[in-house]
Amino acid sequence: MTRVLRILGVTALGLILWQSVVSATGLPRFILPAPTLVFGTLWDNRALIAEHALVTGAEVLLGLLIGAALGFATALLLAASRLARAVLRPMLVFSQAVPVFALAPILTLWLGYGLWSKIAMALLIIYFPVTSAFFDALMRTPTGWLELAKVMGSTPLRMLWRIQVPAAMPGFASGLRLAAVYAPIGAIIGEWVGASQGLGYLMLLANGRAKTDLMFAALIALAVLTLVLHAAIDRLCRRWDR
Amino acid sequence: MTSPALSLSGSASIEGVQVFAPLTFTVPTGQWTCLLGPSGVGKSTILRLFAGLDDGITFDGQIAISDGLTLKGRVSLMAQSDLLMPWLDLPENVCLGARLRGEAADLSRARHLLALVGLSEHLDKRPAALSGGQRQRVALARTLMEDRPIVLLDEPFSALDAKSRAQMQNLAAELLKGRTVLHVTHDSAEAGRRAPPVLVIEPGGITCPTPPTSPPPRAFDAPETQSFDGHLLRLMLETT
């Protein structure tokens, strides 16, 4: 309860500060619209914003789902096979030298203006953090557990599945929490490069027409979407924390 | 189940540094043997050699088993840490070995063994809800579930408080009767209660002091237990 009050307090403080900057400086509304105006626009355009938010939300969720599954599988493969570690790990590290943002135009070229280029962006941006967090956790299994399993006559695969994976779930959870914050960034950049729907597209559109209040409204919707997603993932991950 | 005798003769080194000089000893069949010595004399290395956890250890010598069979699949291990899986409840923890070998887990036997170590009221709990002594009881039940003729104990009671330690010693002595037990410890009082036989390992080799005549496990407060404890402690002090 105190946490909710604190968040509300901080938000109110931010809004008051915003409003006073606008009132004091008299900045024109196409540079910095007042919060009252932004929330008015948000309410008036709620159907439009919800429609675009739904598209962005779907891109983010699908990207998150596929990216997390691929990251989980890759980390398992890396942990299970020395050969995979030797071949894949340098490739993974090298792939991080290419900024994912720079790939957005190429992905749009390959996958078109629809959902899939944005899903691919969200996926790419979270794939490495998830893989790396889960793989590190898999390799940090306490030696005592592994030795016990060895004395018990375990096969390496069963050891991986019955001991290393459950022991590494807190690591996977921290990767997922990061992913929940990163995935929307990927989707929005994908939409900026080329799209006909989504909050990123709506922001570009509003910007082009100097509808700064609508741009801010879309931004607030995006922030709320990310916060809700993060809270949902956090709740889901809590069962794996110890 | 017949429990074979174990013997080891040789020396070991890790990364070129000698862990123990050439030594020879035998762990008699079906008995509880303590391997006593100060930290760093290679007690745990010896245990690891018997457990098949010899990665990184260069062992020059041989390990013999009296019945001529291999050690593989006939050894169970209890370590200083209970090594319970925090995500499993107690019966599942006890059945871990079967799960890891892909065998059917006998949960009713697991519950029976947990009752035997005095934990029948805690079956649905996870390890985090138990005290240190209770957790080692679960580890003992897991060891019994494995039902191996050779049991290796790596200071499993050393982190417990005095009362839990004494209770665990008695419980383990009773439940592991008939198996070949090699118990590594640095606690002369613990070894003193258990003997015979006690092997004292020192940088120069191994000695086997003459134990009191009464059968183990002896009472904590018996004069001969106390004097033997003192004798063992003196042996350890004099050799380091």
Q: Residue B53 has what DSSP assignment?
A: -
Does the pLDDT value for residue A22 go beyond 70? yes
Note the pLDDT tens digit of each residue in B149-171.
999 999 888 878 888 888 888 88
Between B3 and B91, where is the model more confident? Answer: B91
Taking CA atoms, A83 is separated from A5, A79, A139, A158, B22, in Å, by: 53, 10, 15, 19, 39
* Concatenated DSSP letters of B196-210: SPEEEEETTEEE-PP
Report the b/e string of B8-21 with b at 16+ CB within 10 A: beeebeeeeeebbe
Nearest CA in chain B to A162: B100
Q: Please give the Cα distance from A155 to A163 (Å, whole number).
A: 11
Average pLDDT, chain A: 92
Contacts of B146 in chain A (CB under 8 A): 152
User: B35-39, B117-121, B152-156 — which is least confidently predicted?
Assistant: B35-39
CA A90 and chain centroid, separation: 24
Q: Please give the Cα distance from A214 to A220 (Å, whole number).
A: 10
Asked whether B44 and B201 are in contact (CB, 8 A), the reply is no
Q: Which of A238, A230, A132 is nearest to A182 (CA)?
A: A230
Q: Tell me, what's the pLDDT at B194?
A: 64
Cβ pairs A/B, distance under 8 A: 58
Does the pLDDT value for residue A109 go beyond 70? yes
**CB contact set of A107 (below 8 Å; sequence gap of 6+):** A117, A120, A121, A124, A190, A193
Q: For residue B141, what pLDDT band results from cuts at 50, 70 and 90?
A: very high
Q: Please give the Cα distance from B81 to B154 (Å, whole number).
A: 9
- The shortest C-alpha distance from B139 to chain A (Å) reads 11
* Concatenated DSSP letters of B69-94: --STTSEEEE-SS----TTS-HHHHH
Say whether B223 sits in a helix, a strand or coil: helix
Range B99-123 average pLDDT = 91
**CB contact set of A152 (below 8 Å; sequence gap of 6+):** B76, B96, B97, B100, B101, B146
Q: Please give the Cα distance from B214 to B192 (Å, whole number).
A: 12
Strand order in the sheet with B150-154: B75-78, B150-154, B180-185, B32-36, B198-202, B205-207
Q: Please give the Cα distance from A60 to A120 (Å, whole number).
A: 10
Contacts of A149 in chain B (CB under 8 A): 96, 100
Q: Which of B104, B78, B108, B79 is nearest to B91 (CA)?
A: B108
- Compute the residue count for chain A: 242
Asked whether B25 and B16 are in contact (CB, 8 A), the reply is no
Note the pLDDT tens digit of each residue in A114-173.
899 999 999 999 999 999 999 999 999 999 999 999 999 999 999 999 999 999 999 999
Residue among B75, B83, B146 minimizing CB distance to A144: B83
- The shortest C-alpha distance from B223 to chain A (Å) reads 38
- Partner residues linked to B150 by β-bridges: B75, B180
Asked whether B68 and B209 are in contact (CB, 8 A), the reply is no
Residues of A with CB under 8 A from a CB of B: 142, 144-145, 147-155, 158-159, 162-163, 166-167, 169, 242
Q: Please give the Cα distance from B202 to B42 (Å, whole number).
A: 9
Q: Please give the Cα distance from B195 to B217 (Å, whole number).
A: 7
Q: Tell me, what's the pLDDT at B202?
A: 67
- Rounded to 5 degrees, what are φ and ψ at B10? 150, -170
Q: Tell me, what's the pLDDT at A242?
A: 65
**CB contact set of B21 (below 8 Å; sequence gap of 6+):** B11, B203, B204, B205
Nearest CA in chain A to B103: A154
- Partner residues linked to B202 by β-bridges: B205
Average pLDDT, chain B: 84
Range A182-201 average pLDDT = 92
Contacts of A242 in chain B (CB under 8 A): 86-87, 128
Q: Tell me, what's the pLDDT at B1?
A: 63
Percent of chain A whose predicted confidence (pLDDT) is above 90: 78
Q: For residue B203, what pLDDT band results from cuts at 50, 70 and 90?
A: low
Does the pLDDT value for residue B83 go beyond 60? yes
- Rounded to 5 degrees, what are φ and ψ at B199? -110, 125
Mapped to the 3 state alphabet, what secondary structure does B116-127 carry?
A: HCCCHHHCCCCH
Q: For residue B196, what pLDDT band results from cuts at 50, 70 and 90?
A: low
Say whether B112 sits in a helix, a strand or coil: helix
Q: Strands of chain B (E only): list them.
A: 6-14, 17-27, 32-36, 57-65, 75-78, 150-154, 180-185, 198-202, 205-207
Strand order in the sheet with B57-65: B17-27, B6-14, B57-65
Q: Tell me, what's the pLDDT at B37?
A: 79
- The shortest C-alpha distance from A239 to chain B (Å) reads 10
With tokens 């029948």, the residue in question is B120
- The shortest C-alpha distance from B98 to chain A (Å) reads 8
Quick check: B74 contacting A, CB < 8 Å?
no
C-alpha torsion angle, residues B41, B46, B49, B55 (rounded to 10): -10
Q: Please give the Cα distance from A57 to A51 (Å, whole number).
A: 10
Q: The complex's ipTM?
A: 0.87
